[in-house]
Amino acid sequence: MHVIVDSSPGTSPGPELVQLLTPEGERVEHPEYSIELSPQEYRGLYRDLVLVRRVDAEAVALQRQGELGIWASLLGQEAAQVGAGRAMGPNDYAFPTYREHGVAWCRDVDPLNLLGLFRGVNHGGWDPNEHNFHLYTIVIGAQTLHAVGYAMGMQRDGSGAAVLAFFGDGATSQGDVNEAFNFAGVYNAPVVFFCQNNQWAISEPLERQTRAPLYRRASGFGFPGVRVDGNDVLACLAVTREALDYAREGNGPILIEAFTYRMGAHTTSDDPSRYRLQSELEAWKLKDPIERYKRFLIKNSLADSDFFAEVDAESERLARHMRDGCRALPDPEPLSLFDHVYAEGHPLVDEERAQFAAYLSADVDATAERGEG
C-alpha cells in the first residue's frame, strides 16, 4: 500500500469526473450512474435550462437599466442547478446561496420574487416553507449549518426527506462549512452538500481556497464525496438523485462537487478582466451546458424545431413578465422599516416607529407650509 498525497486542487477535472454527456452532446455510460428519462422529461430539462438562463439574462439587463442594484449571474451553472433542483422530491428542502436562481426555478419560486433582494425592496421575497426553499444567504457558508440542523430535524420527525445544501468553492474555506460537514457526519444527518465549484471566488482562483480536490474533503469527515461534471445536466440529475436517496435511506451526508465555471462576472459590480484570462472563458464556452444538451436532444430525435420554437416563445413571455413585474415592484413604505423586527414586538421599536411617523408627518406639514408640496 502506498500513500497518495494530492497537493493540487484539480483545476482540470480528472478521470473521477462523473459525466453522462460529453461537451459534444454524446451520451456516454458511467459504471455507477445512469439515467433513463421519458422524452417529455428530457425536453423538460432543456426548457428549464433555457428559461433559467433567460431569467438570468433579463435580470442582468434590468440591473444595467438601473432597475436592480446588483445581480449575481448564474451563467454557466444552469446544468448544475437544474440537475440538482430537479433531483429533489417535493418534501426535500434546499438551502441556497445568492446565486441559486436555477434551483429557485425548480422549486417554483416566481423569478420575480428573486428580484426584490437585488432591487432593494426586501431581504428575500418568498415564504421558504411554501417552496421548501430557504431564503438566499449572502454571508458565505452560513446556510450550510442551517441545512444540517434542518436535516437533523427531519431525521427526528422521521420525514423520510433530505436537505440539499448549496455553496461555492470559496465557501469551503469557511469554518461554518467545515463545521457543517462535521455535524452532519457526527449526527448522520440526511443532507446532501452540493458545492458548485465554478473555479472562482470573486477574483480568487480555486488554488487560493484549497490544496486538495474539494470532493475529497468529505472522506476526512467520514462520508463519501463525488465529483460530477457540473455542465452536464444529466449527470448532475443522476448523481444528486442518488445522493438524496442515499441520505433519505439513513446513510448520512454526502458531498457533491459540481465541476463547472462562472461564465459571467461575480456580480454586475465585478470586472473579471482584472483577474482572469479571456482564453479560459473561451475554453469553457465550448463546454456550455445548454449547447451540449441541445445537441443531445437533436441527435437522439428527442425534440423538433416546433419544440425549440415553443421554448423560445415561452422565454420571451417570461422575460416580459420579469421586466414588467420588476418595474412595478413598489418601493416599501418608510414605516415598514419597523415591521417584523420581532415576532412578539418590542417597545423600543414601537417607540421609534411612533417618533419617526411624527417626524415624517411634521416634515410633510413643513413642506406644505413652504408651499413646496
Per CB under 8 A, residues contacting other proteins are: 69-70, 98, 116-123, 138-140, 170-171, 173-176, 201-204, 208-210, 269-270, 274-275, 331-332, 334, 336-338, 341, 346, 348-349, 352, 356, 359, 363
Q: Which lies closer to ligand TPP via its Cβ, residue 76 or residue 111?
A: 76
Among residues 110, 255, 139, the alpha carbon closest in space to that of 196 is found at: 255
Residue 127 partner contact from ligand TPP, other proteins, none using kind-dependent CB cut-offs of 5 to 8 Å: none
Candidates 29-37, 85-93, 100-108, 197-205: pick the segment binding ligand TPP (CB under 6 A). 197-205
Q: To which H or E segment does residue 154 belong?
A: helix 142-157
Q: Which of 200, 223, 246, 296 binds ligand TPP (CB under 6 A)?
A: 200
Query: Which segments within 175-306 are labelled E, that is strand?
Result: 191-197, 200-201, 204-205, 225-229, 254-259
Candidates 57-65, 110-118, 164-172, 289-297: pick the segment binding ligand TPP (CB under 6 A). 164-172
Per-residue cell: 81: 442547478
Scan residues 38-97 and list those touching ligand TPP (CB under 6 A).
none
Q: In Å, how far are 87, 107, 131, 175 from 91, measured between CA atoms?
A: 12, 11, 9, 29
Least distance (Å) from other proteins to the CB of residue 279? 17
Scan residues 302-341 and list those touching ligand TPP (CB under 6 A).
none
Site map 258..277 versus ligand TPP, x via CB under 6 A:
----x---x-----------
Site map 135..154 versus ligand TPP, x via CB under 6 A:
---xxx--------------
| Residues with a known catalytic role | 262, 266, 275
Q: To which H or E segment does residue 167 belong?
A: strand 163-168
Least distance (Å) from ligand TPP to the CB of residue 171? 4
CA dist 20 and 35 (Å) reads: 8
Residue 198 partner contact from ligand TPP, other proteins, none using kind-dependent CB cut-offs of 5 to 8 Å: ligand TPP
Q: Which lies closer to ligand TPP via its Cβ, residue 20 or residue 201?
A: 201
Q: To which H or E segment does residue 163 belong?
A: strand 163-168
Per CB under 6 A, 213 contacts ligand TPP? no
Q: Which of 67, 169, 229, 270 binds ligand TPP (CB under 6 A)?
A: 169
Per CB under 6 A, 99 contacts ligand TPP? yes
Provide the angle, in degrees to the nearest 10, between the axes of the packed helices 305-328 and 39-64: 40
Q: In Å, how far are 218, 235, 339, 372 from 357, measured between CA atoms?
A: 53, 56, 13, 20
| Phi and psi at residue 285, to the nearest 5° | -60, -30
Among residues 103, 190, 98, 181, the alpha carbon closest in space to that of 145 is found at: 181
Residue nearest to ligand TPP as judged by C-beta position: 168
CA dist 235 and 21 (Å) reads: 7
Q: Residues in the site for ligand TPP, rule: CB under 6 A?
A: 99, 138-140, 168-171, 198, 200-202, 262, 266
